[in-house]
Structure 1
Amino acid sequence: MQIAIVGLGRMGGNMARRLRRAGLEVVAYNRNGSVTDALAAETGLQAVHSLEELIQALPAPRIVWLMLPAGDATQQHIDQLVPLLSAGDVLVDGGNAFYKDSMARGQALAAQGLHFVDAGVSGGVWGLDNGYALMVGGADEAVQRLEPFLKALAPAPDKGWLHCGPVGSGHFVKMVHNGIEYGMMQAFAEGFALLKGREDFDLDLAAVAEMWRHGSVVRSWLLDLTADFLKQDQELADVAPVVADSGEGRWTAMEAIEQGVPAPVISLALAMRFASQGRNDYPAKLLAMMRKGFGGHFVATQGGDA
Structure 2
Amino acid sequence: MGNKDIGMVGLGRMGANMARRLHLKGMKVIAYNRHTEKATELAKETGMHAASSLEALVQALPTPRVLWLMLPAGEATQSHIDSILPLLSRNDILINGANAFYEDSIAQSQKVEAVGVHYIDAGVSGGIWGLREGYALMVGGSPEAVAEVTPFLEALAPAVDKGWLHCGPVGSGHFVKMVHNGIEYGMMQALAEGFAILQGKTEFGLDLAKVAEMWRYGSVVRSWLLDLTADTLAKDQVLADIAPIVADSGEGLWTAQTALALKIPAPVITLALQMRWASQGRDDYAAKLLAMMRNEFGGHAVQKEA
Q: TM (normalized to structure 1)? A: 0.98
How many residue pairs end up in the alignment? 303
Q: Say whether residues 1:247 and 2:236 are aligned partners.
A: no
Work out the CA distance in 1 between the residues paired with 2:80 and 2:112: 13
1:216 aligns with 2:216: no
- Give the aligned partner of residue 10 of structure 2: 7
Q: For the residues of structure 2 that align with 1:260 and 1:295, how far apart are their CA atoms?
A: 40
Deviations 1:12-71 (A, max 9, x none): 000000001111111110112111111111212111110010110011111100000111
In structure 2, distance between residues paired with 1:44 and 1:164 = 34
1:75 to 73, 78, 87: 78
Aligned residue for 2:202? Answer: 199
The one-letter code matched in structure 2 to 1:52 is E
AA aligned opposite 2:107: A
The amino acid across from 1:297 in the alignment is H
Worse-matched range after superposition: 104-113 or 234-243: 104-113
Give, in angstroms, the shift of residue 112 of structure 1: 1.2
Describe the SS at the equivalent of 2:149: helix
Partner amino acid for 1:108?
K
Structure 1 stretches of 4+ with a deviation exceeding 4 A read: none
Letter in 1 for 2:296: G
Report the alpha carbon displacement of residue 295 of structure 1 after superposing the two structures with TM: 2.3
3-state SS of 1:156 partner: coil
Match in the other structure for 1:20: 23
1:113-192 → structure 2 map (5 Å cutoff): 113-192=116-195
Q: Distance in 1 between matches of 2:207 and 2:295?
A: 40
Comparing 6-15 with 30-39, greater Cα deviation is found at 30-39
Aligned residue identity for 1:102: S
1:297 aligns with 2:297: no
Alpha-carbon deviations, 1:283-303, whole Å to 9, x = none? Answer: 101111222222222211113
For 1:48 and 1:281, the matched residues in 2 are separated by 48
Provide the C-alpha distance between the structure 2 equivalents of 1:158 and 1:169, rounded to a whole number of angstroms: 20
SS of the residue corresponding to residue 3 of structure 1 reads strand
Superposed CA RMSD: 0.7
- Deviation (angstroms), 1:195: 0.4
Unaligned runs of 5+ in 2: none
In 1, the alpha carbon distance for the partners of 2:299 and 2:45 equals 68
User: What does residue 278 of structure 1 align with?
Assistant: 281
Structure 2-normalised TM-score? Answer: 0.98
**The residue matched to 2:206 in structure 1 has which SS?**
coil
Q: Any gaps of 5 or more consecutive residues in structure 1?
A: none
Partners of 2:79 and 2:113 in 1: CA distance: 18
2:53 is the alignment partner of 1:50: yes
Aligned residue number for residue 88 of structure 1: 91
Supply the AA of the counterpart residue of 1:153.
L
Which moves more between the two structures, 62-71 or 28-37? Answer: 28-37
Q: Give the SS at the match of 1:298.
A: coil
Matches of 1:67 and 1:110, distance apart in 2:
19
CA distance in 1, matches of 2:227, 2:264: 31
- Take 1:107 and 1:293, find their aligned partners in 2: how far apart are those partners? 58
Q: Deviations over 1:154-208 (max 9, x none)?
A: 0000000000000000000000000000000000000000000000100000000
Alignment of 1:101-112 (within 5 A): 101-112=104-115
State, as a whole percentage, how many aligned pairs show the same letter: 68
Work out the CA distance in 2 between the residues paired with 1:8 and 1:22: 18
CA distance in 1: counterparts of 2:241 and 2:47, whole angstroms: 40
Q: Which amino acid aligns with 1:112?
A: V
